Amino acid sequence: MAVNTMSSSTPTSQSGAMNPTPTSPATAAELVTANAFAVKDLSIWYGEKQAIKNISIDIPVMAITAIIGPSGCGKSTFIRCLNRMHELVPRTRVEGKILFHGEDLYAAGSDPAMVRRRVGMVFQKSNPFPTMSIEENVLVGLRLNGVRNRQVLNERLEKSLRRAALWDEVKNDLKKPGMSISGGQQQRLCIARALAVEPEVLLMDEPCSALDPIATAKIEELIRELRDQYTIVIVTHNMQQASRVSDRTAFFYVGELIEFGDTAQLFNRPRERQTEDYITGRFG
């Protein structure tokens, strides 16, 4: 599969991306060549209303891409297309193409469930399953997909919770309800739950908007730690957050992609007037 070759080839290219000040144009160019998603002329309608207008964008692998824009600009809709979650909304229509490592996500034979295993998602509101314990929450994806081996499950439980930086806090309370921990911990539990099925991409839809500043800082730190193992796409209305965590930033406005580029460049020297207006707080 194309995926595996991609994953094994990226660590070299991503050392550049790991640079705390990703400004060198060479790095950016290198990233663009290793794309997780290639989106071509994407348009989306909810009933009569067009939410996304003819967007083309390449999302680099093993890097953090932030999507910013005022509310209603289509940024949530856009990332929901990347793992076919928008299909849950009735009367949605998609035009254009999304290639994931060269494979058409919307090809006739493509199974949304398989897409979502490779492209995981974390939501705005933390949503651990209320009837399940912390452990069950983390393992539910594996269990319901047929993994029964207790040893594999135990390994995966610890690994996922460690990666989500939650292990030390909950390792003695694994049987407690997933809803019993704090909001920030719940969100990290949701991240662990998503990581447990070993996706290649993690989509995050405003993962911190319901959290206090301290919990937000923890999640941001976690996102940065995950960067060397996952392709991350994060939607945020918080521009500081985007500039803090991301390598590349895309600015959406009323369904259109206005500007996409290196994060530092976009925030320091925006090419487009609308981008500048937005990041300087003149509208939105």
Partner 1 sequence: MMALRHDNHSWRKIKSALASALSMLAAVLVIAPLGLVFFYLLQKGAGSVNWHFFTQLPKPVGEAGGGMANAIAGTGELLGIASLIGIPIGVLGGVYLAEYGSARSNWWLRFVADILNGVPSITWGVVVYGMVVLTFKSFSAYAGGLALGFMMIPLIMRTTEEVLLLVPNGYREASLALGISRWKTIVHIVMKTASKGIITGILLALARIAGETAPLLFTAFGNRFWNRNLAEPIAALPLQIFSYAISPYEDWHRQAWAGALVLVVGIFVINVLVRFLTRDRTVRIL
Partner 2 sequence: MPAVEGRAHAKLEVPPPSRFADKAFEWLTLAMALAVVLLVILVGWQLARGSSAAIQKFGFHFLATSTWDPVAEQFGALPFIYGTVVSSLIALLIAVPLSIATAIYLTELAPLWIRQPLTSLIEMLAAIPSVILGLWGIFVMIPFLRDYPFPFLKKYLGWSGLFTGPIYGVSMLAGGIIIAIMILPIITSVSREILRSVPNLQREAAYALGATRWEVTRIAVLSYAKRGLFGAVILGLGRALGETMAVTMVIGNTPQIATSLFAPGYTLASVIANEFTEATTDLYLEALFEIGLVLFGITILANLIGQLLLRTLKTSSGTRGA
Binding site for partner 1 (CB under 8 A): 83, 85, 88, 90, 112-118, 120-121, 123, 125, 127, 129-131, 140-141, 144-145, 190, 193-194, 197
The nearer residue to partner 1, 87 or 155, going by C-beta atoms, is 87
How many residues appear in the chain? 284
The entry of partner 2, partner 1, none that residue 159 binds, CB within 5 to 8 Å by partner kind? partner 2
The count of residues interacting with partner 2 (CB under 8 A) is 25
The residues pairing with 99 across neighbouring beta strands, listed in sequence order, are: 38, 104
3-state secondary structure of 97: strand
The residues pairing with 119 across neighbouring beta strands, listed in sequence order, are: 201
Residue among 191, 253, 239 at smallest CA distance from 66: 239
CA 248 from chain centre, in angstroms, equals 13
Residue type, 85: M
Q: How far is the CB of 1 from partner 2 (least distance, A)?
A: 8
The secondary structure element, H or E, covering residue 30 is helix 25-33
Residue 147, interface with partner 2 (CB under 8 A)?
yes
Q: How far is the CB of 72 from partner 2 (least distance, A)?
A: 20
The nearer residue to partner 1, 61 or 197, going by C-beta atoms, is 197
Q: How far is the CB of 191 from partner 1 (least distance, A)?
A: 12
Q: How far is the CB of 182 from partner 1 (least distance, A)?
A: 17
Residue 281, interface with partner 2 (CB under 8 A)?
no
Residue among 79, 91, 166, 180 at smallest CA distance from 128: 180
